[in-house]
C-alpha cells in the first residue's frame, strides 16, 4: 500500500509523488507538513481565486481486481468551502462506475472526518480504476490517510485476486479502427430498403447467433466487410446470395435443447414478423428462423443484465470516441446499433408515439446524409427522442449542440405556468435590477419571435416521456444563448414591456437543475399547526430515525418529492406509514436468452414497522419528480392514509441503462418496465396525483407555494 503513497508521506518539491491532477489552473495543490491526520504530511487543494471551477488529484490503481465492490476511505478537513464541495471520488473506466460525492459533498469549515465511497466492481468490463480527492468551488481542503479495499480486503492483502481480462477474437480485430472505408452512393429507395433489411438482419444475428454471442467476431467490423459488395447489388437475387453467404460464414448451429418458446404471459414478445413479411427467399427466411430456434443461451458478449436489477447491460460497445465526426459507415453503424438495442431490450418499445418498426428506414438516410459533427449529433438526438423516454437524451458527446445552444443564461428561471412562460425565481437576485423582469412576469417574445413557435421548433430535440417533462427541459434553454444579451418582450403588471436582458456565463450563476437544494439545511421541520414537513432533496439516511421520533405526535406529515431524492428511502421511511407489509411495484425484465421477450417479476413489498405513523400523509409531486422520485412516490402511495397531490411526474421510472454510440455519444434508456402491482403502467404516464394542484401566475407573483398550502389544508381538514 505504501508504494501508492496513499498517506502522502512521499513528496517531491512539495507535491505528492505518484499522484496526478486535472482541472482548473487557478487551484493550488501542495503538501502540508504542519497539519496532518496521521504521519507528517497531508495534501492540500486550495482555491482563493474568484473563479469557481474544480481541481482533482488522481492515482491509477496498478491492477484490475476480482470482487464485487471497491471502497475508498479517507480523512478530509475543510476551510471555507463555498460554491461547491470537497470530497473523494472513484471512476471505473470505461463508464463502468463513478462517484464524486457530488450529492453529499463537504461544505464550510470542518475538522478531520473519515468519508467513504463504495462502487460495484465489474472486472470483465473494467480497463482502469482511478480515484482521489477533489475540490469544487472555493476554499481549502486537506486529504490524508486514504485506504482502498476490495470486498473489505485491503489492497495489499495477499489473498486479493487480480483479474486478467480474456482477450477474445472480437477484441483483437482492429482492422477498421481508423475508418470504415465505406462511402455511400446516391441513396435510391431500393438502396434504403436494402439497408433497412440489412440493419434488421445484422441486429438479429448480433443478439441471437451463438458464434457471435461468444465474442468470436467483432460485429461492428463484420458489417463493414459485407457492405462494399452489398451496396453493389443490382437485384434481390444478388442481394440474397450475399446475405446467404454472409450467414453461412458463421457456421452451422447445433440444435439448442435449452431454447424455450416465448412465455404465453410475456408482456412483450420477440417480433419476427419482419422475416416473414420481407421479400427474402424462402431459403433465407428458413435460415433466419433456424437461427432463432437454436439461438444463443447463457453468456453473451454483447448483452447481459445488471445483477439484482435486470436492466440491460450493453457490453463491449466501442464508443469510438476519437471519431468526432464518424464516417459514412460508422454513422450507419450508429443507427443500426441504437435501433436494435431498442428493438430487443427496451421495455417500453410498445409505448412510443411512432411505431418502432418504421423508425429504422426513416433514419438511415438521415444519418448517412449528416454533413458534419453538428448534424450528426442533432439527428442522433432526434432518433433518441423517438423512444419517448425522459431518461433518454444526449448525455455525453453532444459538444457541438452545446456550442450551438451557448453557455450564457438569463439570471432567472422561467417555467410554463397556465400555458404561459413565466419568471418564477432568480438564480442570483443581485442581477434583478439589471434584468428588470420580476417574478411573475410573462415572457411573450424572445428575440422578437413568439414563444410558442420557438417551442414547437425545439420539441424534437428534447427527448421526453410526456409534455410536462419536455416543457421542464426546454424552459431553461429558451433563455440561453451564445450572445451576451437576449431581447425579451414581456407583460409586467398588465403592461407590455421590452428589455435586452444581460446574460451570464453559467459559472457566474447559482444555477440548479430543476430545484433548489441547500445541503446545509435540515431536510425536515415542524410547520405551524403541528404538521411535519420533509423534503427528500437533501435527506440523509441518518435523518430517518430522528424524523420518526420528532414527527410521532404530529397531526400529519408532508413529504415533498418535487425534486430528486438524495437518499433512497422507499423501504426505510415508507415502512413507517404501513400497518402491514404492502406490495407497491413490479417490473418487467428483458431476456438475453430470448431477445425481445419481457416478463413480469414478482411484486416488491414494503415491510411494516411495529409502531407506524397513523396520521395523514400527503406527498407532493410535479414534473420535477423523475425516476427514483417516482418510484418513491409509488412506495408512499401504498400507505392507506396517503394522498398524492400536485401534477403529473416525468414518466421515466426504473433503473437506467447506458448506450454508447460512435463519435463518443452517450445516451440512456429506462432499462426496466415499472408497473403497479395490478399491472398499471407508469412509463410516460408518470405518477398521477389523487388531487391535481398546479401553481398559478398570481400565486407565483405573491410568493405562494400553492401545492404545499393545499397539503396543509388537507391535513387540517
For 555, residues 6+ apart whose C-beta sits below 8 A from its C-beta are 529, 530, 531, 615, 616, 715, 716
Beta bridge partners of 119: 70
- Cis (ω within 30 of 0) for the bond into 390? no
Task: Band the pLDDT of 1: cuts 50, 70, 90.
Answer: very low
Encode pLDDT of 575-591 as tens digits.
999 999 999 999 999 99
* 142 φ, ψ (degrees, to nearest 5): -110, 140
Q: Distance (Å, rounded) from C-alpha 22 to C-alpha 528?
A: 49
In our burial notation (b when 16+ CB lie closer than 10 A, e otherwise), range 290-311 reads ebbebbbbeebbbbbbbeebbb
Whether the pLDDT of residue 94 is over 90: the answer is no
Beta bridge partners of 553: none
Express as a percent the part of the chain with pLDDT over 90. Answer: 88
- C-alpha count within 13 angstroms, C-beta hemisphere, residue 306: 19
Task: Show the cell assigned to 301.
Answer: 458478449
The predicted structure's pLDDT at residue 558? 98
196-to-133, 316, 689 alpha-carbon distances in Å:
48, 24, 42
The predicted structure's pLDDT at residue 2? 46
**Region of residue 227 (left: phi > 0; alpha: psi -120 to 50; beta: else):** alpha
Whether the pLDDT of residue 482 is over 60: the answer is yes
Encode pLDDT of 320-340 as tens digits.
999 989 999 999 999 999 999
Q: How is residue 127 annotated by DSSP?
A: S
Encode pLDDT of 137-156 as tens digits.
999 999 999 999 999 999 87
Which among 91, 97, 25, 10 has a CA at the least distance from the CA of 58?
A: 91
For 489, residues 6+ apart whose C-beta sits below 8 A from its C-beta are 443, 444, 445, 448, 496, 497, 498
Q: State the greatest distance between any 2 C-alpha atoms of the chain, in Å, as a whole number.
A: 81
Q: Distance (Å, rounded) from C-alpha 14 to C-alpha 23?
A: 19
Whether the Cβ atoms of residue 26 and residue 47 lie closer than 8 Å to each other: yes
- CA angle (449 as vertex; 446, 452 as ends), nearest 5: 90
Q: Distance (Å, rounded) from C-alpha 518 to C-alpha 311?
A: 32
Whether the pLDDT of residue 89 is over 50: the answer is yes
In which residue are the cell numbers 423516454 written?
389
- CA angle (508 as vertex; 503, 514 as ends), nearest 5: 85
What is the DSSP annotation of 475-489? HHHTTEESSSEEEEE
Q: Distance (Å, rounded) from C-alpha 4 to C-alpha 10?
A: 10
Task: Show the cell assigned to 143.
Answer: 486529504
Residue 524: its H or E element: strand 524-527
Whether the Cβ atoms of residue 135 and residue 107 lie closer than 8 Å to each other: no
**Region of residue 672 (left: phi > 0; alpha: psi -120 to 50; beta: else):** beta
Encode pLDDT of 227-285 as tens digits.
999 999 999 999 999 999 999 999 889 999 999 999 999 999 999 999 999 999 999 99
Task: Show the cell assigned to 443.
Answer: 415572457
Q: Which domains does the chain have, with CATH numbers?
A: 2-154 (2.60.120.260), 172-296 (no CATH), 524-716 (3.90.226.10)
Task: Show the cell assigned to 672.
Answer: 426496466
Task: Band the pLDDT of 165: cuts 50, 70, 90.
Answer: confident
Encode pLDDT of 395-420 as tens digits.
999 999 999 999 999 999 999 999 99
Encode pLDDT of 642-688 as tens digits.
999 999 999 999 899 999 999 999 999 999 999 999 999 999 999 99
- CA angle (544 as vertex; 137, 119 as ends), nearest 5: 55
In which residue are the cell numbers 421542464 written?
472
Q: Distance (Å, rounded) from C-alpha 552 to C-alpha 296?
A: 56
The predicted model scores a pTM of 0.87
Amino acid at each position: 500500500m505504501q508504494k501508492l503513497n496513499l498517506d502522502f508521506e512521499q513528496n517531491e518539491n512539495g507535491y505528492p509523488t505518484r499522484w496526478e491532477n486535472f482541472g482548473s489552473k487557478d487551484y493550488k495543490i501542495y503538501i502540508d507538513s504542519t497539519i496532518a491526520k496521521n504521519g507528517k504530511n497531508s495534501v492540500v487543494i486550495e482555491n482563493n481565486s474568484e473563479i469557481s471551477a474544480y481541481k482533482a488529484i488522481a492515482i491509477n490503481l496498478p491492477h484490475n481486481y476480482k470482487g464485487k465492490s471497491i471502497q475508498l476511505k479517507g480523512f478530509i478537513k475543510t476551510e471555507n468551502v463555498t460554491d461547491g464541495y470537497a470530497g473523494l471520488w472513484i471512476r471505473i473506466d470505461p463508464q463502468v462506475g463513478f462517484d464524486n460525492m457530488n450529492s453529499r459533498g463537504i461544505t464550510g469549515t470542518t475538522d478531520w472526518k473519515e468519508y467513504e465511497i463504495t462502487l460495484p466492481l465489474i472486472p470483465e468490463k473494467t480497463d482502469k480504476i482511478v480515484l482521489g480527492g477533489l475540490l469544487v468551488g472555493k476554499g481549502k481542503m486537506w486529504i490524508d490517510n486514504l485506504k482502498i479495499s476490495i470486498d473489505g480486503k485491503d489492497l495489499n492483502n495477499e489473498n486479493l485476486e487480480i483479474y486478467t481480462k480474456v482477450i477474445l477474437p472480437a477484441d483483437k480485430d482492429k482492422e477498421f479502427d481508423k475508418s470504415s472505408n465505406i462511402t455511400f452512393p446516391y441513396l435510391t429507395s431500393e438502396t434504403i430498403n436494402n439497408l433497412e433489411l440489412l440493419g434488421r438482419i445484422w441486429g438479429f444475428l448480433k443478439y441471437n447467433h451463438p458464434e457471435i454471442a461468444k465474442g468470436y467476431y467483432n460485429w461492428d467490423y463484420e458489417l463493414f466487410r459485407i457492405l462494399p459488395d452489398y451496396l453493389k447489388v443490382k437485384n434481390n437475387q444478388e442481394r440474397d446470395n450475399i446475405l446467404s453467404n454472409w450467414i453461412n460464414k458463421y457456421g452451422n448451429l447445433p440444435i439448442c435443447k435449452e431454447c424455450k418458446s416465448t412465455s404465453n404471459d410475456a408482456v412483450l414478445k420477440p417480433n419476427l414478423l419482419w422475416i416473414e413479411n420481407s421479400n427474402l427467399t424462402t431459403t433465407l427466411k428458413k435460415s433466419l428462423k433456424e437461427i432463432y430456434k437454436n439461438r444463443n443461451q447463457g453468456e453473451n458478449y454483447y448483452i447481459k443484465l445488471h445483477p439484482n436489477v435486470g436492466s440491460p447491460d450493453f457490453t463491449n460497445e466501442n464508443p469510438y470516441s476519437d471519431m468526432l465526426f464518424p464516417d459514412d459507415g460508422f454513422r450507419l453503424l450508429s443507427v443500426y446499433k441504437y435501433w436494435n438495442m431498442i428493438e430487443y431490450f427496451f421495455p417500453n418499445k410498445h409505448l412510443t408515439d411512432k411505431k418502432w418498426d418504421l423508425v429504422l428506414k426513416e433514419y438511415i438516410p438521415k444519418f448517412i446524409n449528416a454533413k458534419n459533427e453538428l448534424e450528426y449529433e442533432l439527428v442522433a438526438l432526434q432518433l433518441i427522442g423517438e423512444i419517448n423516454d425522459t431518461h433518454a437524451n444526449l448525455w455525453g458527446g453532444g459538444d457541438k449542440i452545446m456550442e450551438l445552444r451557448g453557455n450564457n443564461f438569463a439570471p432567472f428561471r422561467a417555467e410554463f405556468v397556465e400555458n404561459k412562460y413565466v419568471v418564477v425565481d432568480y438564480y442570483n437576485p443581485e442581477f434583478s435590477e439589471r434584468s428588470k423582469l420580476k417574478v411573475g412576469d410573462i415572457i411573450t417574445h424572445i428575440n422578437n419571435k413568439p414563444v410558442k413557435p420557438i417551442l414547437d421548433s425545439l420539441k424534437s430535440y428534447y427527448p421526453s416521456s410526456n409534455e410536462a417533462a419536455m416543457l421542464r427541459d426546454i424552459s431553461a434553454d429558451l433563455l440561453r444563448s451564445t450572445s451576451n444579451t437576449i431581447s425579451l418582450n414581456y407583460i409586467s403588471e398588465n403592461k407590455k414591456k421590452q428589455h435586452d436582458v444581460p446574460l451570464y456565463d453559467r459559472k457566474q450563476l447559482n444555477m440548479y437543475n430543476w430545484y433548489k437544494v441547500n445541503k446545509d439545511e435540515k431536510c425536515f421541520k415542524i410547520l405551524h399547526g403541528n404538521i411535519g414537513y420533509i423534503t427528500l432533496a437533501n435527506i440523509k439516511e441518518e435523518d430517518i430515525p430522528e424524523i420518526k421520533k420528532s414527527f410521532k405526535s404530529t397531526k400529519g406529515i408532508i413529504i415533498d418529492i418535487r425534486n430528486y431524492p438524495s437518499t433512497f428511502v422507499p423501504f426505510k421511511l415508507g415502512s413507517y406509514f404501513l400497518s402491514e407489509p404492502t406490495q407497491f411495484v413490479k417490473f418487467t425484465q428483458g431476456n438475453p436468452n430470448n431477445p425481445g421477450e419481457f416478463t413480469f417479476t414478482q411484486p416488491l413489498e414494503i415491510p411494516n414497522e411495529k409502531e407506524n405513523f397513523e396520521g395523514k400523509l400527503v406527498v407532493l409531486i410535479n414534473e420535477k419528480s423523475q425516476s427514483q422520485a417516482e418510484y418513491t412516490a409509488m412506495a408512499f402511495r401504498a400507505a392507506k392514509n396517503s394522498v398524492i397531490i400536485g401534477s403529473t411526474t416525468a414518466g421515466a421510472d426504473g433503473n437506467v441503462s447506458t448506450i454508447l454510440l460512435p463519435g463518443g455519444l452517450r445516451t440512456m434508456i429506462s432499462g426496466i418496465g415499472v408497473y403497479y402491482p395490478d399491472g398499471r403502467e407508469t412509463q410516460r404516464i408518470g405518477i398521477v396525483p389523487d388531487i391535481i394542484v398546479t401553481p398559478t401566475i398570481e400565486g407565483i407573483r405573491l410568493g405562494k407555494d400553492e401545492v404545499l398550502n393545499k397539503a396543509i389544508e388537507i391535513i387540517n381538514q
